[in-house]
């Protein structure tokens, strides 16, 4: 258990930040799931639109420190590749 006032404050802050980061990660996952659902439905234009909406949300996770840049880029790239493969 935290003893000093500063360590108590850090514990409270960590708890708040954890909740915020958890909601951000959940939001990113939701956007990715929407893209994957559109891909599985076979509608390329709907999938393209979903990816267009998901990209800024994923990259916002990078700026907020929730996701690493390379991870976000990889996810976007793979989703885009799957959408482009639908037309071929």
Q: Evaluate whether 61 touches 24 at the Cβ level (below 8 Å).
A: yes
Question: What pLDDT score does 64 carry?
Answer: 96
* Tokens of residue 9, six digits: 């404050």
Cα–Cα distance for residue pair 69/88, rounded to 1 Å: 29
* Tokens of residue 42, six digits: 């076979």
Residue 1 has pLDDT above 90, yes or no: no
Question: What pLDDT score does 54 carry?
Answer: 97
Q: Evaluate whether 67 touches 41 at the Cβ level (below 8 Å).
A: no
pLDDT tens for each residue of 44-80:
999 999 999 999 999 999 999 999 999 999 999 999 9
Q: Mind listing the domains of the chain with CATH numbers?
A: 5-87 (1.20.58.110)
pLDDT tens for each residue of 2-46:
789 999 999 999 999 999 999 999 999 999 999 999 999 999 999
Cα–Cα distance for residue pair 79/29, rounded to 1 Å: 13
Which helix (H) or strand (E) segment is 78 a member of?
A: helix 69-87
């Amino acid at each position: 258990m935290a003893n000093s006032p500063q360590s108590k404050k850090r514990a409270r802050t960590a708890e708040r930040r954890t909740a915020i980061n958890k909601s951000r990660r959940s939001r990113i996952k939701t956007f990715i799931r929407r893209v994957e659902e559109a891909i599985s439905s076979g509608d390329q234009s709907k999938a393209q639109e979903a990816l267009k909406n998901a990209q800024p949300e994923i990259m916002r996770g990078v700026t907020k420190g929730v996701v690493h840049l390379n991870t976000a880029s990889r996810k976007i790239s793979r989703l885009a590749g799957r959408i482009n493969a639908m037309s071929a």
